[in-house]
Amino acid sequence: MRWGVITFPGSCDDQDVVDALRTDLRQPVETLWHKDELRGDFDCLVLPGGFSYGDYLRCGAMARFSPIMRGVVQFAESGGLVLGICNGFQILCESGLLPGALVRNAGLQFICQPVHLRVEETDTPFTGGVKKGQLLEIPIKHGEGCYFADAPTLERLRKNRQILLRYVDAKGKPTAAANPNGSLENIAGICNEQRNVFGLMPHPEDACNKILGSDDGAKIFASIAAACAERAKRHG
């Protein structure tokens, strides 16, 4: 298993992802710079959170043109696993690897707090290690995390079961009060139709050790590692 974590100008959660993978999950990680071409064999690429290019124009709108993104798109199109966290999710939407967009929070304020998430689908490399309907507690920290898509796109997401995580209350209900940013249908994370690209606004790297209040985020990284190990076994 080989992870690559990409740093863009303004990324601030890249090292948190590296530390969570290396320290908490004992995974080999390589850091990648946005200006470099993507080289080497990776099992999963991570686009971390932060404020790439200062969030000028739109969140992720400039980072999508970084040289390394050509390789990320090719990697994803060839079936490689790509995980976008917060700003990484925004970059994936801007690059066309995921549908929809992330816009200003409904309350027009930056939010930093733990949230409850309900796992909607488990037949993906990112959620294969958890159960459908399982609740996860993972923090968010964003100002533009409101997921938006037009009606036809939302219908495709539902039909193809691409909505992987929803914001819910402590009892697992997707209520308006449990929706921290106004995302349509309480959407917290989606995947592409091929199910190898996943974007989510919550930060699993900040919930990989109980000393942080929750280790539920580790379940997502562990799911990816297990899926890659199974893939290697099949092709080995």
> What CATH number is given to the structural domain containing 28?
3.40.50.880
The model's pLDDT over 148-166, given as tens digits with 9 standing for 90+, comes to: 999 999 999 999 999 999 9
The catalytically annotated residue of 93, 203, 208, 228 is 203
Instruction: Give CA–CA dist 220/136, Å, rounded.
Output: 10
Active site residue 205: yes
Range of the domain at 103: 3-235
Lowest mean pLDDT, pick from 59-73, 165-179, 209-223: 59-73
Coil, strand or helix: which one is 207?
coil
Q: Which residue type does 193 have?
A: E
CA distances to 42, 181, 226 from 233, in Å: 16, 41, 11
| Size (the chain), residues | 236
Active site residue 230: no
pTM value is 0.95
- Number of structural domains (the chain) is 1
The catalytically annotated residue of 144, 205, 208, 228 is 205
Active site residue 30: no
Instruction: Give CA–CA dist 191/162, Å, rounded.
Output: 5
| Alpha helix stretches (DSSP H) within 78-206 | 87-94, 151-159
| Alpha helix stretches (DSSP H) within the chain | 14-19, 68-77, 87-94, 151-159, 217-235
The pLDDT of residue 25 is above 90: yes
Average pLDDT, the chain: 95
The catalytically annotated residue of 34, 44, 59, 86 is 86
The predicted structure's pLDDT at residue 55:
73
